[in-house]
Structure 1
Amino acid sequence: MAEQADQPIVTAAILVIGDEILSGRTKDKNIGYIAEYLTAIGIDVREVRIVSDVEDDIVAAVNALRERYTHVFTTGGIGPTHDDITADSVAKALGVPIDIDPRAKALLLERIPADQLNEARLRMARIPEGAALIANSVSKAPGFSIKNVHVMAGVPTIMQAMLDALAPTLATGTKMLSRSIPAGLKEGDVAAPLGQLQKDFPDVSMGSYPGFQEGVGFTTTLVLRSRDEARLDQATAAVEAMLTAARAGTRVDP
């Protein structure tokens, strides 16, 4: 889709960290939530990566993504165990030292008695130098933001709380608007005319999403997306007219 130069475009990547995701033992519940959340506030998610708990892999991914996008959101790997290495890896990627942060330690002490704040739990207070903390209303152990990298927990309820705390601080752009249009036809029936309409409206993204309904059969939903509401309305009208013609052309009379 062509992007208009006078409209700010803010982009993002999601980096999911964890062997448990790649092995299939844990089913990711964060990608869709983050993508929908960011879209609603005017941030376009352009890429998602999943990497294992390997420092070199995390460092390489963070550096590649932070150079390419406005924001990078990571999930996972900031707990108390030996394989929670996200904070150290992000510090290495950005070339800054990391140590126990007094602010983070104080937050942990709000929930954990001092005599139980052992070495393992203190790992959750290790924050790269220069980072801002991301509040965690669920378990207190904070995430952090450093430059354009935002490091959050992998547990969905905690990640969601962190994202709520982080969102007001984020640079955002013009929101993407969308229209969903049930086609009432199979995807192959609309592919050609939809392709022509995309050429007529290069500034409106047009997607075709097939599905299947019991008792109905194969169905298609067309989704149009644009930041310009007037152009989106024009494209929607053109697509609806195309669908009316296509339905008439594929109707089988008794």
Structure 2
Amino acid sequence: MTDATSASPTAPADPSAGEDGAVVTAALLVIGNEVLSGRTRDANVQVFAKTLGARGVRLKEVRMVADDKAAIIDAVNALRAANDYVFTTGGIGPTHDDITTDCVAEAFGRAVELNAEAERRLRHHYGSETINDARLRMARIPAGAELVDNPVSHAPGFRLGNVFVMAGVPRIAQAMLDTVKDGLRGGAPVHSRAVTAYIREGDIAEPLGAIQERFPAVEIGSYPFVRGERLGTSVVARCTDATLAEAVVADVANAMRAAGADPNDAEGFDPQSGAVAAFHDGDES
């Protein structure tokens, strides 16, 4: 790894900025009473964050709203004005409470119409014996919108302006995102490096602050965890310049050792997935 004392913070201040300093941002709008009631756990945030990050798009905000027309319209308009891209999940199914399509259409001032291609896909998928009016609701698309393919259940989403409307079921949402990700305009991919040790956050807070001052181009996050009866901390460095991120975690590892902790003791443990080594090299993909 690069010697942290000799590296210079030459990358842009935002970890998702490219060499020209441009930051490409996105927001995720999670729609559905079932999420806010606690009946359903949203599993899309991590998938969207990692997939977009690999494209150099920073997931800047995640917002959750109920199946409420005014709330959805307000959120869509606010988020699309503040971000390069907006992704919505949920509310495009066949039932009466699936109102996302109508809300997005109203936010853009568009009419909703039966899309011939969407209808063709649904009729082909379900066949004449099982297609019905409820399922054909999923062929209602705002005028002028571009269809987003659904390789799993075939009911398409759509894109209108900078807003992508997708299903809420995680497996379907991920498949739909995969069909559009290569067409997204992004900045430089963000690289992440991490170091983990059995040490309390407060024991390294001061040196972490000093390291952050030396590396303003790198986003440094500290994440405490409990494993059995042992307390530990993972420190993650994110930057478009991998060498800067590596320099930061090398400095952090030295600070951990100076405080009496050995990063090697926590090797192979990640508080999020349990699959990351003490020094973890990887892009956000």
Equivalent in 31, 45, 52 of residue 17 of structure 1? 31
Aligned partner of 1:35 among 49, 55, 70: 49
Equivalent in the alignment of 2:13: 2
Amino acid at match of 2:56: G
Stretches of structure 2 lacking an aligned partner (at least 5 in a row): 1-11, 262-285
Match of 1:238 in 2: 251
Q: Determine the C-alpha separation between the residues in 1 that align with 2:227 and 2:198.
A: 11
Q: Secondary structure at the match of 2:164?
A: strand
Q: How far apart are the structure 2 equivalents of 1:51 and 1:148?
A: 19
AA partner of residue 61 (structure 1): A
For structure 1, the residue ranges without an aligned partner over 5 or more in a row are: 249-254
Give % identity. Answer: 48
* Aligned equivalents of 2:39, 2:247: Cα separation in 1: 46
Partner of 2:235: 222
Q: Does structure 2 conserve the Cα–Cα contact (< 8 Å) formed by 1:55 and 1:89?
A: yes
Letter in 2 for 1:230: T
* Counterpart selection for 1:172 from 186, 189, 210: 186
Cα-to-partner distance string for 1:188-241 (whole Å, 9 max, x where unaligned): 1001111111111111111111011125x1101111111122322332332222
Q: Give the structure 1 partner of residue 274 of structure 2.
A: none
Is the 1:184–1:220 Cα contact (8 Å) retained in structure 2?
yes
Q: Given residue 189 of structure 2, which amino acid in structure 1 is its aligned partner?
A: K
Letter in 2 for 1:10: V
Residue 155 of structure 1 is aligned with which of 156, 169, 177?
A: 169
| Counterparts of 1:125 and 1:14, CA distance in 2 | 23
Once the 2 structures are TM-superposed, how far is the Cα of residue 40 of structure 1 from its aligned partner?
2.1
SS at match of 1:164: helix
Q: Give the superposition deviation at 1:115.
A: 5.2
TM-score, normalised by the number of residues in structure 1? 0.92
d(CA) in 2 for partners of 1:94 and 1:138? 28
Could you tell me which residue of structure 2 aligns to residue 122 of structure 1?
Answer: 136
RMSD (CA atoms) = 1.6
Do residues 57 (structure 1) and 68 (structure 2) align?
no
Higher helix share: 1
Amino acid paired to 2:245: L
Q: Which residue of 1 aligns with 2:107?
A: 93
What secondary structure sits across from 2:232 in the alignment? strand
Shift of the alpha carbon at 1:163? Answer: 1.1
Instruction: Return the offset for 1:114.
Output: 3.4
Q: Is the 8 A contact 1:7 1:174 kept in 2?
A: no
Contact 1:134 1:166 in 2 (8 A): yes
- Name the structure 1 match of 2:270: none
Tell me how many residue pairs correspond in the alignment: 247
Instruction: Look up the equivalent residue of 2:252 and give its one-letter code.
Output: V
**In the alignment, is residue 135 of structure 1 matched against residue 149 of structure 2?**
yes
Q: Is the 8 A contact 2:198 2:231 kept in 1?
A: no
